[in-house]
């Protein structure tokens, strides 16, 4: 897809940013795989005069994470359960710290509108490098997925029921948005 040069802003008004968690452990059947929406985020895609993406910057409000779905489990996930999970994420996992990403390199693969994006992700008060793929569709859709290990950012994955129910260390972050 040929992009217009300049800055293109994406965010929650034109797309979705999700975090997917999985459960593990002897009591995993009691827990839920979660789909968590990042309800307040903004990204800027800067494009050079040649139409090639040059950089991507993203920021997200750490207090805007909302549990939208919980699959599995012995019982369904109620509103009180969701609120408790959101509070744990806010107070114990992210601790209200900034969520920011700034690319250091954007490699363009002419086949299929794919980009390989490398950069630094600030999460839980720590910043570390990460790389992921983004696809720019002919229809202006932007999609991407990154896998990250919570422990790489000093985040201890949730554990309950005396350690028999755990959140898997690796979570998936997915974005789907439409260019303006």
> Residue 13: its pLDDT value, please?
95
Whole-number Cα distances in Å, 58 to 22, 80, 123, 167: 24, 30, 12, 25
| Single pTM value for the model | 0.91
Question: Once rounded to an integer, what is the mean pLDDT over residues 98-105?
Answer: 96
Question: Once rounded to an integer, what is the mean pLDDT over residues 45-61?
Answer: 93
3-state SS, one letter per residue, for 73-86: CCCCCCHHHHHHHH
Alpha-helix runs per DSSP H in the chain: 79-88
Q: How far apart are CA 66 and CA 10, in angstroms?
A: 19
Secondary structure tally for the chain: helices H, strands E = 1, 14
| Nearest C-alpha neighbor of 146 from the set 1, 20, 45 | 20
Query: At a CB cut-off of 8 Å and minimum separation 6, what does 79 contact?
Result: none
pLDDT band per the 50, 70, 90 thresholds, residue 110: low
Share of the chain above pLDDT 70, in %: 97
pLDDT band per the 50, 70, 90 thresholds, residue 70: very high
Report the Cα–Cα distance between both ends of the chain, in Å, rounded: 14
Whole-number Cα distances in Å, 63 to 29, 36, 91, 93, 126: 28, 12, 9, 11, 17
Query: At a CB cut-off of 8 Å and minimum separation 6, what does 61 contact?
Result: 38, 39, 40, 41, 99
Structural domains in the chain plus CATH codes: 6-178 (2.40.128.110)
Chain centre distance of CA 73: 23
Alpha-helix runs per DSSP H in 23-119: 79-88
């Amino acid at each position: 897809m040929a992009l217009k040069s300049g800055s293109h802003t994406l965010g929650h008004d034109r797309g979705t940013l999700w975090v997917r968690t999985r459960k593990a452990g002897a009591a995993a059947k009691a827990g839920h795989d979660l789909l968590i929406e990042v309800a307040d985020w903004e990204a800027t895609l800067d494009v050079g005069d040649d139409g090639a993406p040059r950089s991507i910057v993203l920021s997200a409000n750490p207090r805007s994470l909302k549990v939208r779905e919980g699959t599995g489990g012995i019982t369904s996930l109620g509103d009180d359960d969701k609120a408790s999970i959101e509070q744990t994420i806010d107070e114990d996992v992210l601790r209200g710290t900034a969520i920011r990403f700034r690319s250091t390199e954007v490699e363009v693969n002419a086949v299929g509108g794919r980009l390989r994006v490398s950069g630094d992700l600030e999460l839980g008060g720590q910043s570390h490098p990460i790389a992921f793929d983004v696809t720019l569709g002919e229809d202006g859709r932007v999609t991407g997925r990154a896998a990250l290990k919570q422990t790489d950012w000093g985040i201890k994955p949730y554990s309950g029921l005396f350690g028999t129910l755990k959140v898997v260390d690796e979570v998936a972050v997915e974005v789907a948005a439409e260019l303006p």
